[in-house]
Chains A and B, each alone.
Chain A
Amino acid sequence: MSIIEVENLKYRYPDLTDLVLDDLSFSVEKGECLGIVGENTAGKSTLCYALAGLIPHFYKGAYGGKVTVNGLVVREHEIAEIVENIGLVFENPFSQMTGAKKTVYEEVAFGLENLGLDRKEMHRRIEQYLKLLDVFGLKDKNPFDLSGGQMQRVAIASVLAMEPDVLILDEPTSQLDPQGSREVFEVIEQLTEKGMTIILVEHKMEQIAQYADRVLLLHQGRQVALDTPEKIFSRPDLKGFGVTPPVVTNISKALNVRYPDSELFPVTIEAFKRLEEAK
């Protein structure tokens, strides 16, 4: 059984007439990194909420189909039970902070207290994940005194500390400088190597091309395609879905640098270079 199974998922927010998620069906394997791309109204964040159980438990509305995470049918289990299986890092890290805690340390502890862990284990995890995200030095600071980039790292650490099997990242590095962004992605790569499953929503297609094993292309709540980054970014109709491929793929298209005997273009600089040199 796949770690995530989505079957005919449909969802509409209360008071709205259009489906935001319209008949999605796909599965994700353990240890896989799935990228989700699409324009702003495609339903990416809504899908993240549905995977994490915020839909239908927190956001009501019309819900159809079935989402299963780690064998749990999301609709039938409480959020408290779901969070141990799947963790969501919000697009806006300010939304992640509880506002109830005075220090970064307590902020991370908050989620763990709800898991009912013993104190020793809690302290171990808080220290480990704050260090992993390089924010242990900020542990005594007030979360709301942090910069956007620091808050983003704390938000990721507080979700990781719950040690979920699946981690959903909705634009995880939007507030980080390029170096910080690279560091966070290195952490993500280490986690997938250890078997964690990652769902990654990103507008920077270069990041998707580099880290995602497969890419789900959404448009107006519908699933357009689910395939390798090369197949998705080589699609001639991609722009029609509000998505531009990585710069290197655009350049490859213009210069007709492609994989031998195929319609596919490279999606990373390394692959582009290899194909150029082989010409």
Chain B
Amino acid sequence: MNTFELKDVAFSYSPDIQIFDGLDLSFDSRTTAIVGQNGAGKTTLVKLMKGLLKPSKGTLLIDGESIAKETAAQLSRRVGLVFQNPNDQIFKTNVLEEVMFGPLNIGMSRSEAEKAAREALQKVDLESKVDDNPYDLSLSERKLIALASILAMDTEMVIFDEPTMGQDFAGKEKIKAIIEELNTEGKLVLCILHDMDFAAEAFERTVVMNQGEIILDGQTRDVFSKKEVLEKAYLEQPYVTQIAHALGYNESFIHESELIAFLNKNA
């Protein structure tokens, strides 16, 4: 998959509240973070992309071809979604079975599915838990199990909904490495985030949504330099950017290391 486009998309849950009205947005090989206030429409957007919701107007296209005729089941082979709340996704009583469920469902044989599941569990460092009941694991581990279930399906696009929730430093580094690896493998990666620092650190492009509209879209560094626009969307700049501004520098820093290097040079 090279591109996933939304053209002139409209959607509402009820007639009086329009979530999207003429939304144009496309995703390409750049890793993309979507940030925005609670209720901005982020989760609705990914549900549309997964075919779980249908737009009232407009088209969704993969590599220029409309996906209107594809069912949610067909789309699930191409677009994987890691849920925000792993309990919405996890339902088996054994970790390996849980991670194998998706691959089996899209038609892999049992041996292929098991191989894919074991590889995916290795990527999230939970291969030692294959025989555990997912509900005996901590929330952060269950989030990684949910992530492994999607990795095992080997979809062309992976969408993450708040993956860093409950993760410590090591967990975040693990997720960052997985995102980079998926990107290197040529997959499309999209991530919904509330964690501005993680967005700044790990994504090439950042899209800011506010009340169903895109108010900023571009290189992560440029997007996080727009303090006033971010504040209007009830967002904040990453801590590194805030520190640089507090010290009176106008340059936009998004990585700790670059700010340290800059301050050392100017000291």
Contacts and interface: CB of A to CB of B under 8 A. Distances in A.
B138 A40 contact: yes
Contact of B247 (A174, A176, A273): A273
Nearest to A279: B267
A40 B37 CA distance: 27
A92 B256 contact: no
A247 interface: yes
Contacts of B240: 247, 251
A211 interface: no
Contacts of B167: 40, 203
Interface string B95-131: 0000000000000000000000000000000000000
B168 A272 contact: no
A79 interface: no
Given A40-B167, A177-B194, A203-B169, 12 more contacts: A39-B169, A45-B138, A92-B85, A95-B87, A148-B85, A177-B235, A203-B166, A247-B197, A250-B256, A254-B260, A255-B267, A269-B239
Interface in B139-157: 139-141
A3 B31 CA distance: 48
A255 to B, nearest CB: 6
Contact of A248 (B38, B43, B87, B243): B243
A84 interface: no
Contacts of B62: none
Given A251-B243, A273-B246, A178 B196 contact: yes
Contact of A179 (B87, B138, B235, B259): B235
A244 B169 contact: yes
A176 B38 contact: yes
A86 B196 CA distance: 32
Interface residues of A, number: 38
Nearest to A277: B247
A177 B87 CA distance: 21
A95 B247 CA distance: 42
7 contacts: A45-B138, A174-B162, A179-B37, A203-B169, A242-B169, A254-B263, A269-B246
Contact of B38 (A39, A40, A177): A177
Given A174-B165, A177-B38, A269-B243, A242 B194 contact: no
B84 interface: yes
9 smallest beta-carbon distances between A and B, as pairs:
A179-B234, A149-B38, A178-B236, A247-B239, A254-B260, A174-B165, A39-B168, A177-B37, A40-B168
Interface string B11-54: 00000000000000000000000011111000100000000000
A92 B169 CA distance: 19
B264 interface: yes
A180 B38 CA distance: 8
Interface in A239-256: 242-244, 246-248, 250-251, 254-255
Contacts of B246: 269, 272-273
